């Protein structure tokens, strides 16, 4: 429930992506937001008001002359009650009208009369998006403090491929959550590793660790929502890239090491969440090993670099945070690891508590001692970890 109690007006304008706005209402509601939908006349050609009414549990507003408002001031009342206005999809026409400050229907009048921030998610044909008029309007809106979400590139309803697709509803929800999050890492560069590494034995076989990557991805998302510029160096996992995060895909520990070392000096914070394989195969075969070649293939192991310890040893390196997944003696092992790698903070968890799932139990260990966090979804724990990091960075703890 990341949007508990937030009052959001969702404006829907005329475009085929309007059907996705229905899912957006549902997802915002699921996060605890109270959603009030306002549609343009154009939007009603794609989806009906009944759909939004059923999903939001509130009457939908379409018309500035709506007689349901006792004072006949729907535009004022609706925008006054909102913490945020989100317009998704935002058509080229809508962008043009609000860039000009027009007030010729309820939605734009409400936008003009607002005293809360405005996020818009454009959706239109690629040529309409690239048109100098649209680009000019977008620049004007940015200068006016409007936050533009996307658009994404890809296949469009018109059959063309290019920029102009609305962000997916899940991505818009992430942007809304980020909008409300406290910006405790504003201006900081955060580098994170996540997932397992894969150490090849031959082209089809390898050694790996069990790691879903979910904790690392959750930390990346929370750091970005806290205002950081986030790079996520990820081993092989099948997870969506958190909105606004730059992901660098790697496979082996050596790849991960190279990707991290190339960026570490520039980072303010490094969080090593990845389950890096301690060893790699020194005699990896170029071709697939054949069973009938006789005998058990000799696999020679060689130690991988300790990425976290190496980053922690950098002269003007980032603030380093480690993870310790243990099956017993959590405190003792985690604290020993923290001292050995010379890092200020380590997050420990017992493997049996959180492996692969959505929930986890984390205990933070730093110079001040032990800070157990209440068991919670990884997204919540990631936020608490980010807050702890921010406090240590600013010397408030
Ligand atoms: O030494 P151990 O693997 O138990 O320590 C775990 C912590 O160290 C994690 O933060 C992990 O990402 C990091 N690590 C690393 N490179 C390695 C091994 C572990 O960065 N080769």
Query: Tens-of-pLDDT digits for all 397 residues of the chain?
Result: 889 999 999 999 999 999 999 999 999 999 999 999 999 999 999 999 999 999 999 999 998 887 776 666 777 878 888 999 999 999 999 999 999 999 999 999 999 999 999 999 999 999 999 999 999 999 999 999 999 999 999 888 888 889 999 999 999 999 999 999 999 999 999 999 999 999 999 999 999 999 999 999 999 999 999 999 999 999 999 998 988 999 999 999 999 999 999 999 999 999 999 999 999 999 999 999 988 877 888 899 999 999 999 999 999 999 999 999 998 999 999 999 999 999 999 999 988 776 666 788 899 999 999 999 998 889 889 999 999 999 999 987 6
Q: Is 276 a pocket residue for ligand 1 (Cβ < 6 Å)?
A: yes
- Please tell me the predicted confidence (pLDDT) of residue 320: 98
Residue 282 DSSP SS3? coil
Are 343 and 322 in contact by the 8 Å Cβ rule? The answer is: yes
Reply yes or no on whether 320 is catalytic.
Answer: no
Helix (H) or strand (E) holding 232: strand 229-234
Q: Is 306 a pocket residue for ligand 1 (Cβ < 6 Å)?
A: yes
Are 350 and 361 in contact by the 8 Å Cβ rule? The answer is: yes
Are 198 and 252 in contact by the 8 Å Cβ rule? The answer is: yes
Q: Report d(CA 252, CA 200) in Å as an integer.
A: 8
Contacts of 396 (CB under 8 A, 6+ apart): none
Token pair, residue 233, equals 């160096």
* Nearest atom, ligand 1, residue 278 CA: 21
Looking at the domain covering 189-394, what would its CATH class be? alpha beta
Q: How many residues does the chain have?
A: 397
Tell me whether domains 7-180 and 189-394 share a fold: yes
- Domain boundaries of the chain, sorted by first residue: 7-180, 189-394
Burial per residue of 312-334, b for 16 or more beta-carbon CB atoms within 10 angstroms, e otherwise: beeeeebbbbbbbbbeeebeebb
Quick one: CA dihedral 387, 389, 392, 393, positive or negative? negative
Question: If you measure from the C-alpha of residue 383 to the centroid of ligand 1, how many angstroms do you get, rounded to a whole number?
Answer: 21
Which DSSP letter does residue 79 get? Answer: H
Question: If you measure from the C-alpha of residue 278 to the centroid of ligand 1, how many angstroms do you get, rounded to a whole number?
Answer: 8
- Please tell me the predicted confidence (pLDDT) of residue 317: 95
* Nearest atom, ligand 1, residue 274 CA: 12
Are 109 and 64 in contact by the 8 Å Cβ rule? The answer is: yes
Q: What's the pTM?
A: 0.84
Question: If you measure from the C-alpha of residue 202 to the centroid of ligand 1, how many angstroms do you get, rounded to a whole number?
Answer: 24
Q: Report d(CA 149, CA 204) in Å as an integer.
A: 41
- Best residue among 234, 254, 273, 274 to mutate for probing ligand 1's pocket (most ligand atoms within 8 Å of CB) is 274
Token pair, residue 90, equals 């935002």
**Exposed, middle or buried: residue 106 (CB in 10 Å: 0-12, 13-18, 19+)?**
buried
Catalytic-labelled residue, pool 113, 116, 148, 158 = 158
At the fourth CATH level, which superfamily is domain 7-180? Flavin prenyltransferase-like (3.40.50.1950)
- Please tell me the predicted confidence (pLDDT) of residue 358: 74
Token pair, residue 91, equals 């058509």
- Please tell me the predicted confidence (pLDDT) of residue 297: 87
Q: Find the Cα–Cα–Cα–Cα dihedral 25, 31, 34, 38, rounded to 10°.
A: -20
- Please tell me the predicted confidence (pLDDT) of residue 355: 66
Q: Is 274 a pocket residue for ligand 1 (Cβ < 6 Å)?
A: yes
């Amino acid at each position: 429930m990341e949007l508990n109690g937030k009052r959001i007006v969702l404006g829907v304008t005329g475009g085929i992506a309007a059907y996705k706005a229905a899912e957006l209402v549902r997802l915002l509601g699921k996060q605890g937001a109270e959603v009030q939908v306002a549609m343009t006349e154009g939007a009603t050609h794609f989806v009906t008001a009944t759909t939004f009414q059923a999903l939001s549990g509130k009457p939908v507003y379409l018309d500035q002359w709506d007689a349901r408002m006792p004072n006949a001031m729907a535009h004022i009342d609706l925008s006054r009650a909102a913490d945020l206005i989100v317009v998704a999809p935002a058509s080229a026409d809508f962008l043009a009208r609000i860039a000009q400050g027009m007030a010729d229907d309820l939605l734009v009048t409400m936008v003009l009369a607002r005293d809360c921030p405005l996020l818009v998610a454009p959706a239109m044909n690629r040529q309409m998006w690239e048109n100098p008029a649209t680009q000019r309007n977008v620049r004007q809106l940015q200068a006016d403090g409007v936050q533009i979400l996307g658009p994404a590139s890809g296949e469009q309803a018109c059959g063309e491929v290019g920029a102009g697709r609305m962000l997916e509803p899940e991505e818009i929800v992430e942007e809304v959550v980020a909008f409300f999050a406290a910006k405790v890492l504003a201006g900081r560069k955060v580098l994170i590793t996540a997932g397992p590494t894969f150490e090849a034995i031959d082209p089809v076989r390898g050694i790996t660790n069990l790691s879903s990557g979910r904790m690392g991805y959750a930390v990346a998302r929370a750091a970005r929502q806290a205002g950081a510029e986030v790079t996520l160096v990820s081993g092989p996992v099948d997870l969506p890239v958190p909105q606004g995060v730059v992901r660098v895909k790697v496979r082996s520990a050596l790849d991960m090491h190279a990707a991290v070392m190339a960026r570490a000096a520039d980072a303010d914070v490094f969080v090593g969440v990845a389950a890096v394989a301690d060893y790699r195969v020194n005699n990896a075969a170029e071709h697939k090993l054949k069973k009938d070649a006789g005998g058990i293939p000799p696999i020679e192991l060689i130690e991988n670099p300790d990425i976290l310890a190496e980053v922690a040893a950098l002269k003007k390196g980032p603030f380093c945070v480690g993870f310790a997944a243990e099956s017993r003696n959590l405190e003792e092992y985690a604290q020993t690891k923290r001292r050995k790698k010379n890092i200020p903070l380590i997050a420990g968890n017992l493997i049996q508590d959180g492996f692969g799932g959505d929930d986890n139990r984390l205990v933070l260990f730093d110079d001040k001692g032990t800070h157990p966090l209440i068991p919670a979804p990884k997204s919540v724990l990631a936020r608490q970890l980010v807050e702890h990091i921010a406090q240590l960075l600013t010397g408030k703890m």
